[in-house]
Structure 1
Amino acid sequence: MSRTVIAAVDGSAESLAAADWAAHEAQIRRLPLHLLHVWQDWSRAFAHAPFTGLDTTPCEGATAAQHYAEQVTHDASDRLRAAYPGLEISVEQVHGRPAKVLLSAAEKAEVLVVGSRGLGGLAGFLTGSVSLPVIAHAERPVVAVRAGERAECEPLPGTGDHGDPKGQCLDVVLGLDLSRPCDELLAYAFEAAAVRAATLRVVHGWSVPVVEGYDPAAADPGHGVALGLREASALTDVLRSWRGKFPQVEVKEQCLVGRPAGHLVEASKEASLLVVGRRIRRAAVGAHIGPVTHAVLHHATTPVAVVPHL
C-alpha cells in the first residue's frame, strides 16, 4: 500500500499551517494527504473551540466533541482542495489518546506533520505530554511546522499559485553528526532537496578537543587548521556516494567550529526545511530527544524534520 503524508489537525492556527505544509509535501512527492484529528470529550482543543470561531453545536446522535472533530477536518480539507486541485485528500476522526493514535498513524506515513509554537509546546492537543512522545517515539519522520512562517517555495514567475509544486525553493539544510552519518537521515535530506529542486546545505558543527596540561601542538595555530581540514575531508567522504545517487542535487558543505544547534538555528533563517536526526531508543523512560534536536525544534525559523535512526 502506498504511504501517505499525514497531518494532525485540531483547528489551531499551528495545525492549519502544518496541514498546508503537508499538502504541499504530498503534492511534490505525488502522494495522498490524510488529515487526522484525535478527539476526546474534554480535550484542550475542544475546550478552546469557542475561541476559534468553530461551531460546537452537536448534530443529532453525536456529541459536541464529535461534531467539532468532523468540522475541523472537513473545513481543513475543503480549504486544501481549493488550494491544491487534484491532490487526493482523505479525512479521519479518531477517539482516543492523542499520542497513542498519532504514533500508530505514523507507522503508515511517509511523514507525519504536526503544528508547532516554537518556544512553546506543540499546538492544541499536541501540547506537553503529547508532543514529546510523538516526536521522541515515532519511527517515521515527523515534521514540526509553526504558524506564520514564510512560504516554503516562492512561485516561479508567471505561476502566482502557491499550489504549484514547481517553486524556487530555499536550501534544505541538513544537520549532520559525522560520528553517526546514518543512511535514513541522509536519504531523507537528499530526497527532500531533490523533490524541491533545491540545494542541500550540509552543516557539520565540531569543536576543538580540550587539551589538559601542556601540549605544544595545541599552541600551534596550524593545529586548528589541520583539524578543520580533517573534518571537512571526512564530511566530503561521507557525502560522496550520496552525491552519486542524487546527481541532480547541488550540495554545499559547511564545517563550522562551535555548537551545532546554534549553527543550525542560524542556517534555518535562509532554509525551506531543516533536517535533523534522532536516535531510536526503546527504553521506557526518558525524553529520547537529543539536545541539538530539542534546541532546533524550539528555535528554528523554518519547518523541522526529525528523522529517527538506529
Structure 2
Amino acid sequence: MTHPIAVGVDGSPESRAALGWAGREAVRRGVPLRVVYAWHWPPHDMVGGGDREEQTRWVRGMIEDAARTVVDRHSDLPVTVEVIDSVGGDVVEALLGVAAETGTLVLGSRGYGAFVGFLLGSVGQRVISEAPCPVVLVRSEDRPEGEAGGREIVVGHQGGPEEGEATLRFAFETAAARGAAVRAVRAWSLPPVFAYSPGSLKMLDEVGGLEPYERKALAEALQPWRERFPEVPVTQHIEMGSAGQVLLSLSDRAQLMVVGRRASRSAVGARIGSVAHAVMHHAPCPVAVVPHS
C-alpha cells in the first residue's frame, strides 16, 4: 500500500477509536494519515442554521484537536487535516471522493449496525458498497490491546483464487505489517439436489467429496500469498455452515476480520453482500470490507 490511509472524524467516541486505529495502521505500513471531516451546510431557510463561518471554525478546531492526539502518539507520522464541504449536501459523494484517493478508508461504527455522525443509515451503506478501496469499520470499544495476545487476522474466502485475490492480499499485507498470523476461512454447505450435474458429480468424486474440494480450493487460493509472505503463519479453516455464522464464531480470536464484496453493480445498484453485512454488523472486532471483481 503506497496511498495514505484516510479516516473520517466527527468527534464521536467511535470516530476517535477509528482515528486511533488508523494512526497505528499508518505507522505500521509507513504511509501518511489523512484525517477528514465530511459535512454540508444546511439550507439557507433552515431555522437555527447558525453562522457558516463560525461553524466552519468550530469544525476545523474539532478535527485539528482530534488529529493532534495522533501526532502526540506518533510524532514521525505525516498527518494532514481536511474539512470537506460536500457539494449539494451529498456526503456520500464526498466520502467516495476521499476513498478514490486513499489506500484504505477508516470509519467509526456504533453498537451493532448503526453508523454515527456523517454516516447515518443508508449513507453508511452506500459508502461501503461503492467505495473503490477497502473500508475498515471500528467500534468505540476498540483498543490497541486487541491487536496483541496472539489474535489473528481472520479472512473469509469464497469462489475461485482470482475472486478472493484482493481480500487475501489485504489480509496478508496487514498480517505482515503487524507480525500477526492469518486464519483463512472457507465455509461450505450441501447444495440442493437440483444443483448437481454429471460434471459436478465427477469433479467432486475426483477430489473425494465436498469438504476435500473446498480444502483444495482454499489451498490453491492461498499458495501465491504463502510464497509472497513466507513470514506470515497461516491456518486453513474449513467448516460446514453459513459463511457469516462461521466467521462470527471466530471473531473472539480476531484482531481484524477481512471480508470481500463484489465491486460490480447489479440491476438494483451496488450491494454489500450477506456475508459482509452480517460480519460488519455483529463482529466485535474491526472489520475490513474489501471490494473485488
> In 1, Cα distance between the equivalents of 2:145 and 2:278?
21
1:37 positional shift: 0.4
1:174 and 2:155 equivalent?
A: yes
Q: Which residue of 1 aligns with 2:279?
A: 296
The superposition leaves residues 229-263 of structure 1 with CA deviations (integer Å, 9 ceiling, x where unpaired) of: 22212211221122111111110000000011011
More displaced, 22-31 or 73-82? 73-82
Contact kept in structure 1, 2:156 and 2:258, CA below 8 Å? yes
Determine the structure 1 residue equivalent to 2:80.
90
Aligned-partner SS, 2:129: helix
Contact 2:163 2:292 in 1 (8 A): no
| Aligned pairs, number | 272
Question: Distance between the aligned counterparts of 1:277 and 1:11, measured in 2?
Answer: 29
Residue 246 (structure 1) aligns with: 229
- In 1: Cα distance, 2:101 partner to 2:41 partner: 26
For 1:22, the equivalent position in structure 2 comes to 22
TM-score normalised by structure 2 residue count: 0.86
Tell me the SS of whatever aligns to 2:107.
strand
Q: Give the conservation status (yes or no) of the 8 Å contact 2:113–2:280.
A: no
Q: Distance in 1 between matches of 2:2 and 2:210?
A: 46
Give the letter aligned to residue 141 of structure 2.
Answer: G
Alignment of 1:175-190 (within 5 A): 175-179=156-160, 181-190=163-172
CA contact (8 A) 1:152 1:170 kept: no
Where does 1:198-237 land on structure 2 (aligned, <5 Å)? Answer: 198-211=180-193, 226-237=209-220
Give, in angstroms, the shift of residue 79 of structure 1.
1.1
1:121 deviation in Å?
1.9
Say whether the 8 Å CA contact 1:121–1:127 is kept in structure 2. Answer: yes
| Cα drift, residue 100 of structure 1 | 0.6
Structure 1, 244-253 or 77-86: larger mean CA deviation:
77-86
Structure 2 alignment gaps of length 5 or more: 44-49, 195-200, 202-207
Q: Deviations over 1:123-170 (max 9, x none)?
A: 11111121011100011111011101242555xxxxxxxxxxxx6652
Once residues 262 and 145 of structure 2 are traced to their aligned partners in structure 1, the CA distance between those partners, rounded to angstroms, is 27
* Residue 276 of structure 1, CA deviation: 0.5
Cα pair distance change 1:125/1:172, threshold 3 Å: same
Give the structure 2 partner of residue 52 of structure 1.
none
Are 1:64 and 2:58 matched, yes or no? no
CA distance in 2, matches of 1:104, 1:114: 15
Give, in angstroms, the shift of residue 227 of structure 1. Answer: 2.2
In structure 1, the partner of 2:46 is none
| Residue aligned with 1:265, SS | helix
Amino acid at match of 2:234: V
| Aligned residues: CA RMSD | 2.4
- Between the aligned partners of 2:135 and 2:217, the Cα distance in structure 1 is 28
TM-score (norm 1): 0.81
User: What is the percentage of aligned positions where both structures have the same residue?
Assistant: 39
Gaps of 5+ in 1: 44-56, 155-166, 213-217, 219-224
